[in-house]
Structure 1
Amino acid sequence: MLQFIPMPTHEVRAFQRGESDAYGHVPERQTSDGDGASCRHCLKNIPKGAGMLVLAHCPFPEKQPYAETGPIFLCEDECAAHADSATSPDVLSTSPTYLIKGYSEDHRIVYGTGAIVEKSSVASAAQGILAQDRVAYVHARSAKNNCYLLRIEGAGSLS
């Protein structure tokens, strides 16, 4: 069974309080135009007119050559984390395609696992990647912009 893992609440709350992002900047406050700005915590599209944060995020525990950093969106106001980790979240239904790729236990890309897949195939493709010996988890990212969306794990994977 797959688990769809949002950003940890404690990290999100820190950004909502104005703590610095991966580049040492305070998150930018903007208003969502309702088109493709998905919160990495509730894993839903931020509604048109709602406040949102834009910030640099690195979803890895430490800086290293494979630790990609890029822009993400968060709800400006507190939102609940995507609670049903076994259910594919809204964020994986808003685009026609997604980039997925596997990472090892030491947070390095496992070469050959990256693929752009149709939204209807994200879960099955992630299961196939997770079945490989060296893969500990998968990232789902924007196929157009490579922005981090969420982490996918198999039952019993690392957290």
Structure 2
Amino acid sequence: MAPFRLSGLDPTPFAPLFALPDAELARRNMVRMFADSDSGYPCRVSLEDAAIGDELLLLPFEHLPEASPYRSSGPVFVRRHAKQRVLAPGEVPPYVTRRMISLRVYDTTHRMIDAHVLEGPEVAACMTQAFAHPHAAYMHLHNARRGCFSCRVDRAS
């Protein structure tokens, strides 16, 4: 069994945001968008690219909220009615393999202990190798070109 599992964000906190008017979204630094292509709008809940016409929100998301020098947030896309996706151990979706990825490895104190920038097809092997490090607790994937948070990677149980 592969030592890793990717998971999407919980959609619960995002669902009520879709009911807000665009002016209120703007006040919160969020934007409503509709996908105009089948790539370029990666949903962080479903871990797949939105289809043409899908409604999304582009919003700031604190992906590392813990007390750490690496505490950070960044932009994410979330599709309306997206279901949280938790992949099978070792599964890496096309959402990841089609992109250049920044892989960041954290320890239990939420400090970065390793990092790599690689093409999507190389991600699975790199995650497997990274979890061989005795202090690796979890990883974050980011889209390297735009810097957006992609998803969290945990050890498969």
> Is the deviation greater in 6-15 or in 29-38?
6-15
Residue 29 of structure 1 corresponds to 32
The separation in 2 between residues aligned to 1:17 and 1:131, in whole angstroms, is: 44
Residue 62 of structure 2 corresponds to 58
1:120 aligns with 2:95: no
The separation in 2 between residues aligned to 1:17 and 1:65, in whole angstroms, is: 35
Task: In structure 2, give the amino acid aligned to 1:141.
Answer: H
Aligned length: 149
Q: Deviations over 1:9-53 (max 9, x none)?
A: 3233354455x99xx816321111223110000111111222110
Q: Deviations over 1:99-121 (max 9, x none)?
A: 101011122211xx111112111
Specify which structure has the higher proportion of strand: 2
Residue 87 of structure 2 corresponds to 84
The unaligned stretches of length 5 or more in structure 1 are: none
Residue 129 of structure 1 corresponds to 130
The unaligned stretches of length 5 or more in structure 2 are: none
Q: Is the 8 A contact 1:32 1:50 kept in 2?
A: yes
- State the TM-score, normalized to the length of structure 1: 0.82
- Over the matched positions of the two proteins, sequence identity in percent amounts to 21
The separation in 2 between residues aligned to 1:106 and 1:13, in whole angstroms, is: 31
Displacement over 3 Å in runs of 4+: 14-18, 61-64
Bigger relative CO (Cα 8 Å, ≥ 6 apart) = 2
Task: In structure 2, give the amino acid aligned to 1:122.
Answer: V
> Is the deviation greater in 137-146 or in 82-91?
82-91
Higher radius of gyration, 1 or 2: 2
- State the TM-score, normalized to the length of structure 2: 0.83
